[in-house]
Structure 1
Amino acid sequence: MERQHDAVLRTVAERNVRFVRLWFCDVVGTLKSIAISPEDLESAFDEGIGFDGSTIEGLTRAYESDMLLRPDPATFQLLPWRGETEGTARMMCDVLTPDGEPAASDPRRVLKDALARAEAKGLELYLHPEIEFYLFREPYQSGEPLVPIDSAGYFDHVHKGAGKDFRRTAIQYLEQMNIQVEYSHHENGPGQNEIDLRYTDALTAADNILTFRTVVKEVALTMGQSATFMPKPMIEHPGSGMHTHLSLFQGGKNAFHEPGAEYGLSRLARQFIAGLLRHAPEYCALTNQFVNSYKRLWGAQEAPSYVTWGHNNRSALVRVPFHKPTKGTSSRIEFRGADSACNPYLAFAALLSAGMAGIEGEYELPEGAEDTVWELTERERRAMGIEPLPSDLYRALEVFEGSELMASVLGEQVFEYFLRNKHQEWQRYREQVTPQELSTTFHLI
């Protein structure tokens, strides 16, 4: 039987691939890349490719800078926008220490470890992300106004619209890279789009999201536009979220499904939801990692701001979508808190671990909320036991820092670096004097 390594080497030779890009990401989730020649590919598989890890955010400390990249042959794909002649391929990589051990600071390793803990209990996580983003007319220049490519709204069909042409090209590229798309449409905001990726295992989903963001930005640039996954780029328009559908499978069957149960949810599924709710303030800094993320969460009733769940309730942090009673595989939950700018490896590891804590601790699921939570008064929310999510990054970091669960999920190195990086971001934000402050305060005294 042909090894995956050998299949990749054969494809590179047959397709006359000129460069192979090794992809990985830093702790924040920024894609990093190094190109190697096909002649170096076999040694990359066997020994890894060395690089200076101290130059990458959070990967290592300066005095232990030597790191290795080992490509994952299962992720080999040609980059469609690089052309057919002397093309370029990419593979996702695991980051290793010089002695070949998984690097404690590698975000992909963090997710793989969380998945291994669940798999030890016979459970596999599957995900379906719905990714929102904005398209603007010109490549972004600092200080210039943002001009969306259209003025359309939710599900609008824009005749000869740039967004429709954009989505068509992006989806073609994604599918050529074996990333299957389920839906695509215009979102609520002007120039805002959504592309939903098909259900797959969690590690593949995280790899796909990193690739997706790259494809979207590449297509935008080729069309003379700019794309952003910034959670809230414009004050007056909705932010961009990444609603994520989750389900656990056990022995090939959906462990979230129980025939005849309310909403078709098994006891295990209800415990998983309870874990997501109880630990939500602790992992909020990972699913919503930027100062700007909280402009979306606490915007004009557009994203979940409170820790609750419901069935037909889109203001809830966790929603149980309609399921087909005769189709057990359709039972799932939808986490609506994450934004499109999170590091998917860390965010998915945190969500899985919070849900697993609910299962292992046999948490009881509180009453759901079918009322729109935003429309309740503070007194009504308190009476129902509905707590708010952190209102800004600083408060999210306070809860995150005290979380034993998050420290154990991320490991000491990622946990400490993430905290340091995000406190620096908050400090820089606090030091700014904004145009809004000048316009409201300059002439007061």
Structure 2
Amino acid sequence: MPYKVIGGEPVPVSYSAEDVFSKIKHDQIKFIDLQFTGLRGRFHHTTISANLFTPQQMQDGLPKLDGSSIVGFASIEDSDMVLKPDPSTFAIIPWMANAKTARLICDVYWGKDKGRLESDPRGIAQKAEKYLKTQGFDNSYWGPEVEFFVFDKITWDVLTPYKGQSYSIESKEAPWNQEGKGYPMALKKGYYPSTPADTLTEFRNDCVECLNEYFGILCDNHHHEVATAGQCEIDIRY
């Protein structure tokens, strides 16, 4: 569920199906990006035209997924699946300005009215949430720490073993930087350095601002992490 800050306090924002179709019309949305999570933790998506998206599809889902092509979902003999959008996840994607696009995160169901896909990661999380309530807990607080690297350039060759395999990572923050510019960090000395050694503060600011303002994902902290060569961390508020 997305949030917004009112008076210094996070307040949940909930959209109904009616709200979504009203926003599609008001904001002149051209495309809807239907997103779902794979077992390896990455989003997959398919995009539909907003003017063909109907309330019935919002309610019943769209038969738009071949589950055999997603690792761990289904075999090819029984792979027709349905994506059911969650209206509360509606968000306009800010970097797709040429053709205004909004996203909806979807639950994954088997086709032919066979129920929820057991290996849908979102479904597993929802089952865990329900189980906690059966154990007498009203709330469960989670604060993910998103860690990632930002490189200036990376190249690799892993498909031509007859001439050798290799990779190369370039970063102005790394001690192996050949340009002789900047303030490189030693290996494992990247925890909380200040600028100018930390070159990615403004980049992380932009990431946090985008998550907060467009997707309702509130981030309360970000910093450089231990590794050299652009390791970052963004902390999402529980």
The TM-score by the shorter chain falls in which range? 0.7 to 0.9
Name the CA distance, whole Å, in 2 between partners of 1:149 and 1:46.
50
Superposition pairs of residues 377-392 of structure 1, within 5 angstroms: none
The residue correspondences of 1:118-137 to structure 2 (distance < 5 A) are 118-123=132-137, 124-137=139-152
Report what 1:187 is aligned to: 225
* TM-score, with length taken from structure 1: 0.42
Structure 1 unaligned segments of length 5 or more: list them. Answer: 200-445
Q: Secondary structure at the match of 1:136?
A: coil
In structure 2, what is the Cα distance between the partners aligned to 1:181 and 1:159? 23
Higher relative contact order (CA 8 A, sep 6+): 2
Q: Which residue of 2 aligns with 1:159?
A: 196
Partner of 2:122: 108
Give the aligned residue type for 1:181. C
Q: Which of 72, 75, 98 pairs up with 1:58?
A: 72
Find the counterpart in structure 2 of residue 393 from structure 1.
none
Distance 1:67 1:163 in 2: 41
Equivalent residue number for residue 6 of structure 1: 18
Q: Which has the higher strand share?
A: 2
Are the aligned partners of 1:96 and 1:103 in contact in 2 as well (CA < 8 Å)? yes
Specify whether residues 72 and 59 from structure 1 end up closer, same or farther in structure 2 by C-alpha distance, changes over 3 A only: same
* Deviation readout 1:298-324 (Å, 9 max, x if unpaired): xxxxxxxxxxxxxxxxxxxxxxxxxxx
More helix by share: 1
1:169 deviates by 1.4
Q: Report the 3-state secondary structure (helix = DSSP H, G, I; strand = E; otherwise coil) of the residue aligned with 1:175.
A: helix
Q: Distance in 2 between matches of 1:148 and 1:168?
A: 19
Match for residue 93 of structure 1? 106
Residue 195 of structure 1 and its aligned partner are, at CA, apart by 0.8
* Counterpart-to-counterpart distance in 1, 2:74 and 2:171: 39
Quick check: 1:196 aligned with 2:210?
Answer: no
User: Which whole-Å deviations, capped at 9, do the CAs of 1:233-265 have from their partners, x for residues lacking one?
Assistant: xxxxxxxxxxxxxxxxxxxxxxxxxxxxxxxxx
What residue in structure 1 maps to residue 216 of structure 2?
A: 178
Instruction: Give the 3-state SS of the residue equivalent to 1:184 in structure 2.
Output: strand
Question: Matches of 2:58 and 2:114 in 1, distance apart?
Answer: 12
Partner of residue 37, structure 1: 49
- Report the alpha carbon displacement of residue 42 of structure 1 after superposing the two structures with TM: 2.4
Segments of structure 2 that go 5 or more residues without pairing to the other structure are 1-13, 158-165, 174-183
Aligned residues: 197
Identity %: 30
Given that 2:15 and 2:87 are in contact with CA atoms closer than 8 Å, whether structure 1 keeps it comes out as: no
Using the alignment, how far apart are the partners of 1:187 and 1:57 within structure 2? 31
Code of the residue aligned with 2:170 in structure 1: it is V
Report the CA distance shift for 1:66/1:167 in structure 2 as closer, same or farther (over 3 A).
same
Q: How far is the alpha carbon of 1:112 from its aligned partner?
A: 1.1
Shift of 1:44: 2.6
Q: Which amino acid aligns with 2:152?
A: R
Give the deviation of 1:147 after TM superposition: 2.0
How far, CA to CA, are the matches of 1:163 and 1:71 in structure 2? Answer: 35
What is the alpha-carbon distance in structure 2 between the residues aligned to residue 77 and residue 178 of structure 1? 8
Contact kept in structure 2, 1:60 and 1:105, CA below 8 Å: no
Distance 1:36 1:102, change over 3 A: same
Match of residue 167 from structure 2: 144
In structure 1, distance between residues paired with 2:47 and 2:56: 14
1:297-312 superposed matches below 5 A = none
